[in-house]
């Protein structure tokens, strides 16, 4: 298991090392020490490897991730797992703004809280937040799922398209065209499988969740809805 000390190895060299990994590589597990909030750690990986970061990460950690498993034993700055394509990212602490922004696939799990705009413009990513999320989370989310075990801030799901939102706690307010929807047994089954994938299978009562999604009134411009745009 290679141990990379970012006080010794430059971040650029480490990321280039990860970018050079191909399918079938024998180096499948990397431990990173002394991250000290550096930005873009483990960004742009396209290999089935695991990177474990011992400490806090800065902006865009694990951005554009594909195939890899990235574990952050601390908190993460703005845009963790931004534009993720596949694989998984787990933040053991809190996440700053825009966690999982524009993510197309994969799984992002945040053990703590996430700040504003969590899942903004999501395009297929699955996000599970054990704590609460801030304002305008899932803003313009097109596809994928956001699960919040705590509370949600103002304007949840503003201008949402077809993403699915599940919240167990309180919602301060809903954004434009986001409405509460019935939650069926099928929805609960999918929610349960996602929580199981996030390592929380059987720990949560699925009946405590509410489901939110698009009211579909803003898909096409209409003068009567001008104030909502």
What is the residue-averaged pLDDT of the chain? Answer: 94
Order of all β-strands in the sheet with 210-214: 3-5, 29-33, 50-54, 69-72, 88-91, 107-110, 123-129, 143-148, 164-167, 210-214, 178-181
Average pLDDT over residues 25-44: 95
Provide DSSP, 96-156. Answer: -TTTTTT--SSEEEESS-B-TTTTTT-EEEEEEESS-B-TTTTTT--EEEEEESS-B-TTB
Domains in the chain with CATH codes: 3-216 (2.160.20.60)
Res. 229: pLDDT tops 60: no
Report the DSSP pairing between strands 50-54 and 69-72. parallel
- The DSSP 8-state label assigned to residue 227 in this structure reads G
Structure tokens that stand for 80 in this block:
């963790």
Q: Are 62 and 70 in contact (CB under 8 A)?
A: yes
Res. 222: pLDDT tops 70: no
Structure tokens that stand for 41 in this block:
């750690």
- pLDDT-derived band at 217 (thresholds 50, 70, 90) equals confident
Per-residue pLDDT at 190:
96
Average pLDDT over residues 117-135: 98
Per-residue pLDDT at 218:
74
Per-residue burial over 215-229, b if 16 or more Cβ lie within 10 Å, else e, is beebeeeeeeeeeee
Per-residue pLDDT of 87-112, as tens digits, reads: 999 999 999 999 999 999 999 999 99
Average pLDDT over residues 115-129: 98
Average pLDDT over residues 170-183: 97
Alpha carbon of 228 to those of 132, 139, 150, 223: distances in Å? Answer: 26, 14, 27, 10
Q: Are 140 and 120 in contact (CB under 8 A)?
A: yes
Per-residue pLDDT of 48-84, as tens digits, reads: 999 999 999 999 999 999 999 999 999 999 999 999 9
Q: Are 79 and 100 in contact (CB under 8 A)?
A: no
């Amino acid at each position: 298991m290679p141990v990379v000390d970012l006080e010794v190895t430059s971040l650029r060299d480490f990321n280039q090392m990860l970018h050079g990994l191909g399918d079938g590589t024998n180096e499948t597990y990397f431990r990173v020490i002394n991250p000290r909030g550096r930005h873009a750690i483990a960004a742009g990986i396209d290999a089935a490897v695991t990177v474990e970061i011992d400490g806090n990460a800065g902006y865009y950690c694990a951005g554009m991730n594909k195939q890899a498993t990235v574990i952050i034993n601390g908190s993460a700055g703005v845009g963790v797992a931004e534009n993720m394509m596949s694989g998984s990212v787990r933040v053991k602490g809190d996440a700053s703004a825009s966690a999982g922004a524009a993510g197309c696939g994969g799984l992002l799990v945040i053990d703590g809280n996430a700040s504003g705009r969590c899942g903004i413009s999501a395009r297929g990513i699955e996000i599970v937040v054990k704590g609460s999320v801030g304002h305008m989370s899932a803003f313009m989310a097109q596809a994928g799922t956001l699960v919040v075990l705590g509370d949600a801030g103002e304007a949840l799901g503003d201008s949402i398209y077809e993403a699915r939102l599940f919240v167990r706690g309180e919602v301060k307010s809903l954004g434009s065209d986001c409405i509460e929807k019935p939650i069926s047994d099928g929805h609960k089954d999918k929610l349960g499988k996602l929580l199981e994938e996030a390592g929380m299978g059987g720990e949560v009562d699925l009946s405590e969740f509410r489901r939110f999604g698009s009211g579909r009134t803003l898909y096409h411009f209409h003068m009567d809805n001008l104030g909502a745009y």
